[in-house]
A = this chain, B = another copy of it.
Amino acid sequence: MAPSGAADRARRTPDPAATPNPPRTPSPPRTPNAARDQARLAKAGARRQARRLRPGGATRSAAGVKDVAAAAGVSLGTVSNVLNRPEMVSPTTRAKVESAMESLGFVRNESARQLRAGSSRIIAYLMLDAGNPFFTDVARGVEEAAEKAGLSVFLCNSNEDAGREADYLDLLEQQRVQGVLITPLDPDSSRLSTLPNRGTPVVVVDRAIDDGEHCSVAVDDVLGGEVALTHLIELGHRRVAFVGGPNTIGQVRDRREGAHEALRKAGLPPESLVDVLTGALTVAEGRGAGQRLAGLPADRRPTAAFCANDLLALGLLQQCVSLGLRVPEDLAIVGYDDIEFAAAAAVPLTSVRQPRQLLGRTAAELLLDESSNPDHEHQRVTFTPELVVRTSTRGNA
């Protein structure tokens, strides 16, 4: 119970060049190019120690119910009963079986269980980007609801890659999971319908969809975009950048559409919104967009930017500040999602908040209903977003 001791030992042990046949050593962490910050008090490097141990008998015997039954002197069916209907086994028998399990190190084979019983106790959430706190917050809501129902959650990360998304869908279907929650790259993809057609419930998260095949839980992105841009218009901005992309992502399209809607309602021309296209919804892409925006001559530069999500907004903000632009005086910024880090940013970020955890919880509840309730009706739940105004648009006034 003294891990500090272990660490101590690690540091003291002489650097062993004596690794007989180690897997190729990892390259040392490359110094990040993005960060212009300096002052390395310690240089990066890796130490590695190998040990051939393979202690006596790694008991790879893998005891099964049969072995347990033999050891306990009961039949195989009884062992199964202990596992699945313990109340219908006499206490003494149960004790015998349980102690046999213990001493044999029995681990139930879930594949066989599922094959025979037909049902899995797992649901999966296939996320668009596990690095985006928005989605991990949604995931927390999912876990909450799943735990209440006695299910486990596997998280999968498509990382905005259509190929990976498809691979994971295949995998999950083959695993016969109880259901899949997904924030898809393209909610209209036909691939999304094949699962429910074959019996695996799918609930679409953060996209509204009404094809009769899925439930969906979403936040009104068009309204969110409209609210954001209305706010900027009311502050007097007449030339606004829309930072986001790629356009294949529905959230981006909807939020842009909402922005245009706001222009329309305000009687402003569509050209008031200038597209700044990004390759993904990440901080790094936001920095790139900042570079481009800051490079424009001041009289042609938009006076405000509406970003498709907070990661973009934070990157944009960071880059603009470091290039000497003042926020909001030179450029007002509105983000989207109101992730926890938005409020802690260099200039606290105005953002459009979504009920993240509730989104996940509701989606999971719909999934559970679909997979357990024969009278299930597909539903489309839409939540309303909420603008949170902070310094990045309002200033400190």
User: Given A23-B366, A152-B168, A199-B62, A84–B10 Cβ distance below 8 Å?
Assistant: no
The 6 closest A-B pairs by CB, nearest first: A29-B355, A155-B155, A39-B389, A110-B174, A318-B344, A154-B154
Contact A23:B198 (CB < 8 A) given known A37-B388, A355-B29: no
A14 CB within 8 Å of chain B: no
Name the B residues within 8 Å of A381 (CB-CB): 26, 46-49
| Interface contacts beyond A1-B152, A1-B188, A143-B159: sample of 6 additional A-B pairs, CB < 8 Å, sorted by A | A7-B222, A19-B373, A20-B373, A44-B383, A152-B168, A155-B157
- Whether the Cβ atoms of A1 and B150 lie closer than 8 Å is yes
Inter-chain contact A377/B46, CB cutoff 8 Å: no
- Determine if A60 is an interface residue (Cβ-Cβ < 8 Å): yes
Does A42 lie within 8 Å of B344, measured CB to CB?
no
Chain B residues whose CB sits within 8 angstroms of the CB of A46 once the complex forms: 381-384
Determine if B212 and A176 form an interchain contact, defined as CB atoms under 8 angstroms apart: no
With A9-B86, A114-B111, A154-B154 as given contacts, are A45 and B175 in contact (CB-CB < 8 Å)? no
Residues of chain B contacted by A207 (CB below 8 angstroms): 3
Given contacts A4-B257, A49-B379, is CB(A197)–CB(B58) below 8 Å? yes
A299 within 8 A of B: no
User: Closest Cβ of chain B: how far from A382's Cβ, in Å?
Assistant: 5
Query: Measured between alpha carbons, how far is A185 from B344 in the docked complex, in Å?
Result: 27
Contact of A35 among B23, B28, B176, B343 (CB under 8 A): B343
Q: In chain A, residues 364-397, which have Cβ atoms closer than 8 Å to a Cβ of chain B? A: 365-366, 368-369, 373, 375, 377-390, 394
